[in-house]
Amino acid sequence: MRDPKAGRVLRRVRRGLLYSFALLTLSQLGSAWGAALQVSPIRLDLSAEKPAAALTLHNDGTVPLYAQVRVFAWTQTIDADHLDRTSAIVASPPIVNVAPGGDQTVRILRVSTTPLVREEAYRLLIDELPNGQAASSTGVRMQLRYSVPVFVGAKEDQVPALALSLERTEAPDGHDTLMLRAANHTDLHAQLSRVHLDWPNGHSTQVSPGLLGYALPHAARRWPVQGAPSGVTSATLKALVNGEPVTMPVSVVGPQPDQ
């Protein structure tokens, strides 16, 4: 019998590796751009019992830097994530000056008095700002941007049952495009990573070596599949969903409604 405690530890390790990979990628991009901002952690979890968390901003450079933290409600449509300004969660302070080699802590707090009915999803956009100029619609150039997911009321170690399929759609050039579609009809978010498709002819396609994306509660999301054999009608999907290995058959279907 599987030890539940050992399973929880293994899932945390898997998630930690994925988050570390994402943070490393962002840090490498920042180095390429000459940016010095580092952010940790790269995911925050809040709840009714724990409405606050700390975000640490580190300056890996040799000169002071300014950074701005903004909070957005996060929703999805089939092909896009949507961010809308919100007052349900606040970042304090929203703009910080980080000394060379130093750290600054930003407190992330759910201030909404609305009862938590189901899981809520937000994103923090953390921008390194040239000359301390706040990001706005006036075209201020950011040197580096982090996007950190924030979940309120997420139930740890639960894997939502997703409706997964391969959707064949027509591209603007008239050619068919195969999309991996994840419909999430549950109250929990799903994080998809390390996604592979094994085809009946024995070949396989790696959809994503690391994090592919999220399917938020009661939303559907899809991603393109490159290199699929022509004429396929089915495949076997292997992936990590919220850190848990999942293997399941998927069928090729025609265009579907958004939900």
Whether the predicted pLDDT of 34 surpasses 90: no
pLDDT for residue 144: 84
Question: Which domains occur in the chain, in start order?
Answer: 4-152 (2.60.40.10), 162-253 (2.60.40.10)
Name which residue leads in pLDDT, 9 or 155: 155
Longest dimension (CA), the chain: 59
Whether the predicted pLDDT of 137 surpasses 80: no
pLDDT for residue 130: 80
Q: How many Cβ atoms from other residues are within 10 Å of residue 102's Cβ? A: 13
Spell out the residues 6+ positions from residue 155 whose beta carbon is closer than 8 angstroms to its own.
119, 188
pLDDT for residue 2: 46
Q: Dihedrals φ, ψ of 186, to 5°?
A: -105, 180
- In order of 156, 184, 225, the CA distances from 161 in angstroms are 15, 7, 21
Please compute the mean of the pLDDT values over residues 2-25 and round it to a whole number.
Answer: 48
Whether the predicted pLDDT of 252 surpasses 60: yes
Whether the predicted pLDDT of 30 surpasses 60: no
Whether the predicted pLDDT of 143 surpasses 80: no
pLDDT digits (tens, 9 = 90+) for 155-213: 877 889 999 999 988 766 667 789 999 999 999 999 999 999 999 999 999 999 999 99
pLDDT digits (tens, 9 = 90+) for 58-97: 999 999 999 999 999 999 999 999 999 999 999 999 999 9
What is the DSSP pairing of strand 52-59 with strand 80-85? unpaired
Examine residue 160 and say whether the peptide bond preceding it is cis (omega within 30 degrees of 0).
no
* pTM: predicted TM-score of the whole model, two decimal places: 0.80
